[in-house]
Amino acid sequence: MGMLEAGTPPARYDRLVTDSGRHGTIVHGDDRDVPLALAALGQGGADLAVVGAVTRPRWWNRRNPKVEPAAIAVTRPALEEVCGAPPWPDLVGLHLLLRDAGRRVAIVPTSMRTTVRATRDDLVARHTIVVLAAIPLHDVGGGSRSAQLALELLRQGFHVIYVSLFSADESIDIGLRFIHPELEQYSASEFDAFSVTKRSRRGVVILEVPAGQFSGPVEVLRRGGWRLVYDIVDLWQDRVLGGDWYRRDVEKQFLTSADLVTASAPDLVELAAEAGVDAILLPNGVNAEVFRQEGLRRPGDLPEADLILGYHGSLYGDWFDWGSLNAVARRFPSAAVAVIGDPPDRLPPRAANISLLGLKAHSELPDYLARFDVGLIPFVVNATTHAVSPLKAYEYLAAGVPVAAPPLRSLRGLAGVFTADDLVSAVEQALEGGRPDREQALREHSWEARVELLLDAIGQSTPGGGVPPRIVTRPAVHYRGDQRRLTGHETNAAQA
């Protein structure tokens, strides 16, 4: 495919008509359906009304219905938030941008179909990177490895297409959404790799989860001249992580066919070596833009105490050691043990000074972590956790907080991390060792540095001219116990 010039208009831009009036801005492709869109706009607080053919929504896995829009009516503030001034995307792209921004959408179905055409046609001027991930961008507070890679790529000037294999599975959608004109977000069932090859110049695919569902899209993109990076982030053969979707032969195919293999932990580098593949160590990192914030506030739900021992991350999986967390709480009875994360349906008995604060947006973490005296990593020690690069370790350090952890191989040599077989002993060492140099941590472990290493290894130049995404918070949605974790997978340990 030839090079695309910057500012190339969308393929269907000549069909778009705008009209600014009391209803907002109308963007439509069929005048006959405009009155329906206008009538629906504002119903139930909708910022966007879409008229068109739809597939039936599947409530049980929290997926949105696919829509083939024939007409769109949108309020001016919503349009300006996601797109700004024209040129805008085509009808499909505009609908998806507003939907993914968390705006309330009214859908007027003209027909129900098994399949609909919901593929963007507008051309992409910037260099494109496709991220094939396990979970949506906003899931687990937006702090997952795949999310942080995607956000850093946007900051460095790339057009990012983010595809999630699973739907969000937390008990609460805290309403966090990321808005950026160069960001596209899809579920795996929505993603059309062939259309990407038509809309964009050859780019890079970063595969974060070796699922068979991604084999087809990867093959299509590679036939189109795209390069593949397989990023090993977990020991997927552990059934707690790989669930019923993992197949060793599929991962081996990705591993041996990739143009570049990266791994988040030394044990995963060795795993690649066993397959005869040289992998580059690319540990997890820290979002320097988030953790360089000044004037942090004290969160109202953080317990008052002279000593605060804290944890943030996943509370699921066999790797989380509630026993060691309770032992720390009993050893320091006057301390507050603050735990940030989505709690499981059934919680084990816990000490009275352990406070469960719930899931927080990643951008809120510095407010909490700055008040921690020690950051905890209460993990059991086994093959799975040795293969983990704990995101929280780098974020604790970037907040100037010493880390207490079990002796995981991935944490060896990290300044400010204190390890011991007994987590209580590690906490005692951390309290005596003092606070680490947060500026050094920000320099050495930033996602900016990690992404530059990846791009240099794959031979991809940085386009520059990027801006950070806008982060907004919509009304939270709580889910019942029977509506959560329905996808047959666990939050992966690298994101724990």
pLDDT, tens digit, for every residue of 4-44? 233 333 333 333 444 444 445 666 666 788 888 888 888 88
Same domain flag for 148 and 276: yes
- Structure confidence at residue 9 (pLDDT): 33
Same domain flag for 435 and 324: yes
- Structure confidence at residue 58 (pLDDT): 58
Q: What is the mean pLDDT of the chain?
A: 87
- Structure confidence at residue 485 (pLDDT): 44
304, pLDDT greater than 90: yes
Question: Is 495 inside any structural domain?
Answer: no
- Structure confidence at residue 344 (pLDDT): 85
Same domain flag for 50 and 170: no
285, pLDDT greater than 90: yes
Residues 385, 387, 388, CA angle at the centre, nearest 5°? 65
At residue 318 the predicted structure's pLDDT band, cuts being 50, 70 and 90, is confident
State mean pLDDT over 436-457.
96
Same domain flag for 309 and 440: yes
Question: Is 458 inside any structural domain?
Answer: yes
Helices (H), 258-335: 266-274, 288-291, 322-331
- Structure confidence at residue 490 (pLDDT): 42
According to DSSP, the β-strands at 24-28 and 67-74 are antiparallel
Strand, helix or coil at 39?
helix
Same domain flag for 262 and 370: no
Token couple for 282: 């690319």
Q: Which of 52-66, 115-129, 419-433 has the highest mean pLDDT?
A: 419-433
- Structure confidence at residue 436 (pLDDT): 96
491, pLDDT greater than 70: no
State mean pLDDT over 96-113.
87
- Structure confidence at residue 334 (pLDDT): 98
Question: Is 496 inside any structural domain?
Answer: no
- Structure confidence at residue 479 (pLDDT): 62
Q: Which helix (H) or strand (E) holds 357?
A: strand 354-358
For residues 98 and 104, give the distance between their C-alpha atoms in angstroms, rounded to a whole number. 8
Same domain flag for 281 and 255: yes
At residue 473 the predicted structure's pLDDT band, cuts being 50, 70 and 90, is confident
Contact 393, 493 (CB under 8 A): no
Question: Is 4 inside any structural domain?
Answer: no
Same domain flag for 47 and 30: yes
Which of 429, 444, 459 is at the close of a domain?
444
**Closest listed residue to residue 168, CA positions, set 192, 147, 195, 199:** 147
C-alpha distances in Å from residue 251, one per residue of 82, 145, 204, 247, 354:
37, 19, 19, 7, 40
As for how many domains the chain has, the answer is 3
Q: Residue 28 pairs with which residues in a beta bridge?
A: 17, 71
Same domain flag for 368 and 438: yes
Question: Is 478 inside any structural domain?
Answer: no
Contact 265, 388 (CB under 8 A): yes
At residue 87 the predicted structure's pLDDT band, cuts being 50, 70 and 90, is low
Sign, CA dihedral 198-200-205-211, equals negative
CA atoms within 13 A on the CB side of 435: 13
State mean pLDDT over 395-402.
98
Question: Is 123 inside any structural domain?
Answer: no
Same domain flag for 309 and 438: yes
Question: Is 483 inside any structural domain?
Answer: no
For residues 53 and 109, give the distance between their C-alpha atoms in angstroms, rounded to a whole number. 5
Strand order, beta sheet including 280-281: 183-187, 159-164, 128-133, 204-207, 227-232, 260-263, 280-281
Same domain flag for 321 and 428: yes
Q: Which helix (H) or strand (E) holds 51?
A: strand 48-54
Same domain flag for 401 and 437: yes
Neighbours of 405 (CB within 10 A): 27
- Any idea which residue has 């947006």 for tokens? 361
- Structure confidence at residue 313 (pLDDT): 94
Helices 145-155 and 447-458: crossing angle, nearest 10°?
Answer: 80
| Range name among 88-102, 352-366, 385-399 with the lowest pLDDT average | 88-102
Question: Is 17 inside any structural domain?
Answer: yes
Q: Which residue has the higher pLDDT, 71 or 191?
A: 191
Contact 114, 125 (CB under 8 A): no
pLDDT in tens, 137-195: 998 888 899 999 999 999 999 999 999 999 876 667 777 899 999 999 999 989 999 99
Contact 306, 255 (CB under 8 A): no
For residues 441 and 378, give the distance between their C-alpha atoms in angstroms, rounded to a whole number. 21
At residue 388 the predicted structure's pLDDT band, cuts being 50, 70 and 90, is very high
Same domain flag for 255 and 323: no
At residue 399 the predicted structure's pLDDT band, cuts being 50, 70 and 90, is very high
Which of 76, 109, 142 is at the close of a domain?
109
pLDDT above 90 coverage of the chain, percent: 59
Residue partners of 448: CB distance under 8 A and separation at least 6: 152, 155, 156, 288
For residues 189 and 203, give the distance between their C-alpha atoms in angstroms, rounded to a whole number. 21
CATH assignment of the domain containing 158: 3.40.50.2000
What is the DSSP code (8-state) at residue 138? T
Calculate the CA 148 to chain-centre distance: 6
29: left (phi over 0), alpha (psi -120 to 50) or beta: alpha
Range of the domain at 55: 13-109
- Structure confidence at residue 312 (pLDDT): 97
For residues 251 and 228, give the distance between their C-alpha atoms in angstroms, rounded to a whole number. 13
- Structure confidence at residue 265 (pLDDT): 98
Q: Which helix (H) or strand (E) holds 220?
A: helix 215-223
- Quick check: pTM over 0.85? yes
For residues 87 and 18, give the distance between their C-alpha atoms in angstroms, rounded to a whole number. 11
Residue partners of 192: CB distance under 8 A and separation at least 6: 119
199, pLDDT greater than 60: yes
For residues 19 and 11, give the distance between their C-alpha atoms in angstroms, rounded to a whole number. 20
Q: Which residue has the higher pLDDT, 95 or 261?
A: 261
